[in-house]
Amino acid sequence: MPVRILTQEQVTQLLPMPACLDLMDEALRTMTRGGAILPLRTMLRLPEGKGIFGSMPSYLNPPDAIGLKAITVFPGNEGTAYDSHQGVVLLFEATHGSLVAILDATSITAIRTAAVSGVATRALAKPDAGDLAILGAGVQALTHLDAMAAARPLRRVRVWSRTPGSVAKFVALARGRHPVVVEAAPTAEAAVRGADLICTVTSSRVPILERRWLADGCHLNVVGASLAAARELDSDTVAAARVYTDRRESLLAESGDFLIPRSEGRFGDEHLIGEIGEVLEGKVEGRRTATDLTLFKSLGLAIEDLAAAHFVTQRAAERGIGTVLEIGGLRHD
């Protein structure tokens, strides 16, 4: 059977951020309507905390497709020639179960994660929000800048990271990417003071953001921590916020940002208002007032990878992009 192989550069070319926002919007709606099957991801932790190998299968209809993302997460790669997230997305058609494409997962993960934050921002942030703070300066910081620019007209961008070299690199890249003022902030507090859009995309396992720094009415996209023992926000922030997520089951199993303050007795499971797909479908209420503190906790879902992979593969086939190999799959009697 013919299988299309697509590289990081090709995926990036075929998956522009504005299109990916609309794609993720529809995928999250489809999940809310009952058109998705996805178990919790399986995480294999390597000895001595070196890294994680993750497996994320899913089914989504439409487009009636099956997918699997196999990915490694090696935080120690930051600042080296290797991405911290590496792997592949395998795309199968759901009629005969045949493999259709093998795609670079690093680019899909970077783009679709930020696009989901963009969807949450469109649904929850104030209409005039445009003062953006980004905590973290890696790959996700840059794609989140793209997503926030697609979701709201930006007036100002401030970025902070514990690694000054990463901030300098981010600022140089960002200034050539969007027509907006981009500044390096000396501290996390200086970055978020007065901001009405905040994205946390760090690898921190302990809080790097405090409630007392936040302006009334701001919206937070909380992305970096996806383990039950890790978090980026202090408990006061989560307790004060209207909390939304991509998927309940993932939040209640994997999100230290939610689980740690819950274990402290700050709130119960009912503090989660709903999933973003439910907001989009009108099943739960989003922002109520201009002073609400809204928080979207992103865990990352396999259907997001699957929707992106299907879209990219279709565009690649239309344009003749990628390497097509015959790797079997036919029955031989």
Write down the CATH number for the domain with range 2-109+302-326. Answer: 3.30.1780.10
* 268-294 pLDDT, tens digit each: 999 999 999 999 999 999 999 999 999
User: What pLDDT is attached to residue 81?
Assistant: 83
* HSE of 97, CA atoms in CB hemisphere, 13 A: 3
pLDDT at 82: 86
Q: Could you give the 3-state DSSP secondary structure of residue 208?
A: coil
Residues with Cβ within 8 Å of 71's Cβ and at least 6 positions away in sequence, in order, are 53, 54, 56, 85, 86, 87, 88, 105, 109
Report how far residue 45's alpha carbon sits from residue 51's, in angstroms, rounded to the nearest whole number. Answer: 6
Which pLDDT score is estimated for 49? 85
Locate CATH 3.40.50.720 in the chain. Answer: 117-297
DSSP 8-state symbol, 80: S
Distance CA 185, CA 231 (A): 21
Cα–Cα distances in angstroms (integers) from residue 50 to residues 10, 53, 75, 143, 255, in the given order: 30, 10, 8, 25, 20
Q: How far apart are CA 20 and CA 15, in angstroms?
A: 6
User: What per-residue confidence (pLDDT) applies to 330?
Assistant: 52
Q: Measured between alpha carbons, how far is 130 from 146 in angstroms, rounded to an integer?
A: 13
Question: Which pLDDT score, from 0 to 100, does residue 148 have?
Answer: 98
CA 236, 237, 240 angle in degrees (round to 5)?
Answer: 80
45 forms bridges with which residues in the sheet? 52
CB 281 within 8 A of CB 32: yes
CATH 3.30.1780.10 intervals, the chain: 2-109+302-326
Give pLDDT, residue 77.
84
Rounded-to-integer distance, Cα 332 and Cα 281, Å: 47
Distance CA(35)–CA(30), nearest Å, equals 5
Per-residue model confidence (pLDDT) at position 78 = 73
Short-list 106, 105, 92, 56, CA closest to 303: 56
Q: What would the CATH number be for the domain defined by 117-297?
A: 3.40.50.720
Tens-binned pLDDT, residue by residue, of the chain (333 aa): 899 999 999 999 999 999 999 999 999 999 999 999 999 999 999 998 889 999 999 999 999 999 999 999 887 887 788 888 899 999 999 999 999 999 999 999 999 999 999 999 999 999 999 999 999 999 999 999 999 999 999 999 999 999 999 999 999 999 889 999 999 999 999 999 999 999 999 989 999 999 999 999 999 999 999 889 999 999 999 999 999 999 999 999 999 999 999 999 999 999 999 999 999 999 999 999 999 999 999 999 999 999 999 999 999 999 999 999 998 655 444
CA 169 from centre of chain: 21
User: Is the C-alpha dihedral spanning 177, 178, 182, 187 positive or negative?
Assistant: negative
Predicted local distance difference test score (pLDDT) of residue 332 = 40
Structure tokens at 49: 């905390």
Amino acid letter, residue 63? P
What pLDDT was estimated at residue 216?
Answer: 95
